[in-house]
A = this chain, B = another copy of it.
Amino acid sequence: MNTITLDVSSRQKTELIDITPEVQQRVAGAGFDNGICMVYVPHTTAAVTINESADPAVARDIIMVLNQIVPWKAGYRHMEGNSPAHVKAGLVGESVHVAVNSGDLQLGTWQGIFFCEFDGPRSRRVRLHLING
């Protein structure tokens, strides 16, 4: 199984970053033809999700609701002050899986892959595991 590591730099505390072009480029560059591209985030205050990439307002609306659901202050016991980021990461999830056919990610028309920063800004990593079908 081929594994590729991407570097992602976030610039804000909470931010969704569209990584679709780089994922597509790396999958094609690896000569991976058919199978599953698993996108994995090895952090506990960040996540990855698939949603609409055409209108950036969708990503902002997702962040807005997540901030409403998971309050910044709520009697958290974890002393580092980033418990909300851990909870958001748990709700969104640490991996997505996209089929690849003839080297192309088989995303839906409006779908893009977003790295979700919940405790930035930071230098982060994303791993692509290319699983033969």
Chain A residues proximal to chain B, CB less than 8 Å:
1-3, 34-36, 38, 40-44, 49-52, 55, 57-58, 60-62, 64-65, 68-70, 74-80, 83, 86-87, 89-99, 101, 106-111, 127, 129-133
CA distance A52 to B79 in the complex (A): 13
Task: Describe A's contact surface by its main secondary structure.
Answer: mixed
Q: Is the beta-carbon distance between B96 and A77 smaller than 8 angstroms?
A: no
Partner of A36, one of B1, B76, B78, B91: B1
Let me know if B127 and A106 touch, CB within 8 A.
yes
Are A42's CB and B129's CB within 8 A? Answer: no
Question: CB within 8 A of A99: which of B3, B68, B77, B101?
Answer: B3
**Complex alpha-carbon distance, A42 and B109, angstroms:** 8
List residues of chain B with CB within 8 A of the CB of A101.
Answer: 3
The interface residues of chain B lying within 8 Å CB-to-CB of A95 are: 96-97
Which residues on B sit within 8 Å (CB–CB) of A49?
90, 93
A90: chain B residues at CB < 8 Å are: 49, 51, 62, 92
* Chain B residues, Cβ within 8 Å of A106: 3, 42, 127
Contacting residues, chain B, for A93 (C-beta < 8 A):
49, 93
| B57 engages A65 (CB within 8 Å) | no
